Structure formats: C-alpha cells, structure tokens
Structure 1
C-alpha cells in the first residue's frame, strides 16, 4: 500500500514537471493563432491563421530563416565529419594525452555559452577575421562536434572489433571494410548526431550573438523582435516554427538511437 502511494506521488510530480516545462510552449503556440495584434488576454478572443501568411510574406523573416538553415546545414556537415573522425581515432586506442584531447572535444558544450562566445570573439579579433556567416558556422561547429562524437563513439564501443578482423581475414580491403562493416553500424548514430547538431545550431543564440557581426540569423531576429510589441503575433508564429524545426530532429534522433543496443555486431 505504501509503495502504491509513492508511485502515485511520483506520477503526479512527473506530470507536474512536464506541465511546468511545456506550458510556456503551449502559450506561444496558442498566441500564434490569436486574432489580436498585441494584447495578451487569456483566453484569446478568437483564433486565426492569418499571421502565418503575414510572417512568411515578410522578406526579413524569410532571409533570417534561410540564413539559419544555411548555417545549421554547414555546421552539421562539419560536425559529422570531424566528430566521426575523432571518435574513430579515440574509441579503441589508449595513448598519452587521450584524456586531454577528449576533454578539449567536450569542453565547448560543457562551458556556458557566453564563455564560448567570448573566447571565439577574442580569437577572431586576434586573427583579424571579420564576423560573418563563416564565423557563426565555426562557432556552432565547436559544440556540434561534441554531439556527433558522443553518438558515434558510443556506437563504436558497442561494435565488436572481431567483425572488422573477420572482414580483413576474408580479403576485404580498408574501403570495403568501412563500406560494408563499419558504416552500416555507424549510420544511425551519425544520422542521429547530425540531427541533434542541426537542432542545436538552428536555434543557438548566445554564441551566435558574439560571432554574427552584422548578420541576422533567426535567433537574433527573434531577440530584436522583443522591442517591437506590434509584431507579437508574427514573432509567435516564427517562434512556433523554430520549436517545430528543433523538436522534430530531436524526436527522430531518439527513434533512431533507442534500439542501438540491438544493432548487428554490437558488443556488450
């Protein structure tokens, strides 16, 4: 009886936490359909979809969305390449300085964003690099690499090395072993890491603020909109789109990796 009461309280606490976390998101989604232009009366006096047409007809909104998509795609590709190569180099061999290299890989996402942003800004100024799209991409890639690395190195550790040895014993060269043995085992981990990296890059604000210069990707556009109360409905529409764009890759990444322990050749 006592355990049943504890279970009920735990469920109540869990649902309460979920409501607390997601209620602000629900409010933003609701007010994206609000008929009023600037007032925040609850419940909304009416619902409409006209603000979606207004938002996607504005050039500044479209330019910010396209810029953020461009940055996120480039940063994700860089992260997938560097993260996978780093995982391949570090997962199995022990050597002097390995822990230091691992720490350096993980540090950008462990540090507060403001520290990473300041460090990148100082480095770019020292190298006399003008802020722009490429500096934003470099800034995002520094923490996106960690996401891909963690996914891929975990899959490497679950992949039996005897499969690679058997492939080489049967006469396969390095490319064939990579194509038929390693890549099929790493595919979902790489894709999941890339999706998470894309989601993080698309809505990153703090690092972007320090590295953007005069560029205005979507997070900075949203921040600037806070000073324009008449654009509240349009801002809510764009915020809702950002939440959907970042939520879908996270859900897909979860679905891709939740059965990773059953991948062919995985070791215990």
Structure 2
C-alpha cells in the first residue's frame, strides 16, 4: 500500500468533517441568502423573490453608518493599544526569568479565558468605582483588555523561536536596546505582531458582551444588532449589515492566517 493511501482519511472521517463544516457554515449561508429576499417578515424557502433593495435601504440608514464608524474607531484604537502593550509585555516576559512569572502569564490570558459577562461586570464595577461615565473610551479600554492577550500570544510565540544569540550579538556590537529591537527583533517578529493586531481588530469589531457593560449610551454595531432583533419587519436589513460585518471581519482573519503561515508555504 502506498504512503498516500495510508495518509488518506477514512470515509467516516471525511463525512464527519463535512458534517462539522456544514454545521458551522450553513447558518452563515442562510443569513447571506435572506439578505436578498423580497419578503421582509418570514424566512420562506425557496425565496419568494430576489432583490437588492435591502442593500439600498441599509446604505440610506444613518444609524447604521454611525454604529459602523463607532465600531471601526473602537476596534482601531483598541488594536493600536493592544499592539503596543502586548508587544512590550511579550518582550519583557520572553527575556526575563523571575519568581511569579507563571502567575503573571496566567493573569495575562485571564481576560479572554473568563466568560465575557464576568469581564464585563468587573470592568463596570471598576468604572463605577472610579466615578467615570461609560462611553467611547471605556469601550476602548474594555476591548483592549482582551485584545492584549491576542497580540501577546502571537508575539511571544514568535520571540521564543528567535535565537537569543542574535540579540546578544547585536548588543556586543554596540547596539542599544532600541536599535536591537528595530533591526533584529522587529523584522523577525513583525508578521506575528501584525497578525495579532488583525485578529484583535476582528475580535474587537464584533464584541458585544463586554461592550454592553462599558458602552453607556453609545451604540456600536453589535449593540445595533441586538436592538434590531426586536424589529422583525427589518430582518433583511439586519441580514445585509451582517453580511458587511462578515466581510469586514473575514479580511483581517485571512490576512492574519496568511502572515502566520511558514515562509515556504507563502512562497
């Protein structure tokens, strides 16, 4: 028997993979399909008709554009802060050995490991204790808490694969810490940092649980979705916006996947 035949998955494995993929993706396909329906109330199948008028109606809604701008602004700022804090933390944790390092590592991943409602409640309690009115900046801070984890995990994993003698050689040749970071560390780990930032952006853009506790009167796009669930006559518009959100979220995820592939695979 050839090696290719031995490595070929069994029929049961292929069927299980197909069922799993269908379970994950069929609901997404349903949302895309019913963004083009002519019926604004029910999910009748087959479609009673196909139309693009819901896309035109969604583009004309000022509340959708406002929520979209707010979500993009929050995601961009949270990603920027997460890239700065996550990369600096990864540099410190990858090069230092001290008592309690494992506890700090555990605390770093805790915001994303805990249920979102626990993180949201903790942030809300801190906001109230500091007598701060929830709003734009509290959303940014709340999103940064879990975006840092994404950037940190990507960056520290790449740093652990980088030979330490590169840094030692740079220092021996007279480079200071900033020069070593700029010319040695960053070129080696830049793709991991960008990939972490893109994943953090995608995660922040569609986050709702933490946002509900930190938004106050602000309405991001996920909160807009939540409010629209109680308006069944506008379901096609909700589906149209969902399609846009999928596209906006999918692009950074695909770029992050491409950047974290081995160099020979990208070539």
TM range (shorter): over 0.9
| Matched position secondary structure for 1:91 | helix
Among 239, 243, 246, which residue is 2:242 paired with? 239
Cα distance in 2, alignment partners of residues 167 and 40 from structure 1: 63
The answer for the alignment partner of 1:255 in structure 2 is: 258
Aligned length: 263
Moved over 4 A (4+): 3-6, 260-263
Among 122, 142, 145, which residue is 1:142 paired with? 145
TM-score (norm 2): 0.94
Q: How does 1:34-183 map to 2 (within 5 A)?
A: 34-183=37-186
In the superposition, relative to structure 1, how do residues 180 and 262 fare at CA in structure 2: closer, same or farther (>3 Å)?
farther
Q: Does 1:190 align with 2:193?
A: yes
**Deviation readout 1:74-121 (Å, 9 max, x if unpaired):** 100010000001100001321012111111110000000000001111
State the Cα RMSD in Å. Answer: 2.0
Q: Does 1:208 align with 2:211?
A: yes
Cα distance in 1, alignment partners of residues 75 and 164 from structure 2: 34
Q: Does 1:22 align with 2:25?
A: yes
Extract unaligned runs of 5+ from structure 1: 264-268
Deviation of 1:172 (Å):
2.8
23-32 or 94-103, larger mean C-alpha shift: 94-103
Cα distance in 1, alignment partners of residues 163 and 265 from structure 2: 12
Partners of 1:158 and 1:261 within 8 A in 2? no
TM-score (norm 1): 0.93
Extract unaligned runs of 5+ from structure 2: none
The answer for the alignment partner of 1:266 in structure 2 is: none
